[in-house]
Amino acid sequence: MKPYAYAGGTAVVTGAGSGIGEALSSALADRGSHLVLVDQHTDRLDRVAAALRARHPGLDVVTVVADLADHDATVALGVRLAAEHPGTTLLVNNAGATVGGELAELTLAELDRVLEVDLRAVISLTHGLLPVLLAHPGAHVVVVSSIFGIFAAPGQVPYVTAKFGVRGFAEALRHELAGRVGVTVVHPGGVATRIAADAAVGAGTDGAAFDVTRERVSRLLRITPDAAAAAILRGVERRRGRVLIGWTTARLPDLLVRTLPGTYGRVLEVFAGSRLDPR
């Protein structure tokens, strides 16, 4: 496939109100893409959109407030976006949620919410927009997984399950759409987003202990969202199937898993106690 062309296309970005989603939206606007920004936080979304409209008055910047944990509403959103934005050439599935706690400490509702946002919403929105993307040869889909889509960390069973799931979804879809629509799966590690601050705490989890872990993990988030966005968009333009972000927090763990697929958990014991996504 030819390199992806940003200028003049329309990009749908979920989780656009902060972090990687906000940085991607800004970088896409700089490259001439019209934008449909999706987030559940109205205030964050309005702030991002206002800044982009002021900086790029010639671009269309549409905002959509949506809770991707609502399955039926998300399915309807995919159909709606396809109908209202037939010029869509790029879908960035970036929104994510996590909950801290071991499986025995979580309710099924807490587990299901993470699976809904991080896995099912990705599938639903991609499915809804796929006819539009297929109508534009050379369109592209981005799925933001995590380094936890490569190695399985304790204390994050719902998140790991979802991120392994979207990795498989993206890889299978890439093979299925080869030559028609590009697909990139992204594995960020150590990116300074709100994932730690916004993480929910399981109903049976020790909140005080979790706060200590939250603070410790937050100190590992050193890659800027702008740097992450730049890496993702380079990967999209070059039609890369996979983008790893962060040497010590992504590339090294990836190498570890490939080298010790059945026993890498012993190495991870050094970092025992971490219960948050280092995205």
pLDDT of residue 271: 55
Average predicted confidence (pLDDT) for the chain: 90
pLDDT in tens, 109-157: 999 999 999 999 999 999 999 999 999 999 999 999 999 999 998 889 9
Which amino acid makes up residue 150? Answer: I
In which residue ranges of the chain is pLDDT below 50? 212, 272-279
4 is a catalytic site residue = no
pLDDT of residue 171: 98
Architecture label for domain 10-270 = 3-Layer(aba) Sandwich (3.40)
pLDDT of residue 100: 84
Which is catalytic among the residues 4, 6, 159, 264? Answer: 159
pLDDT of residue 266: 83
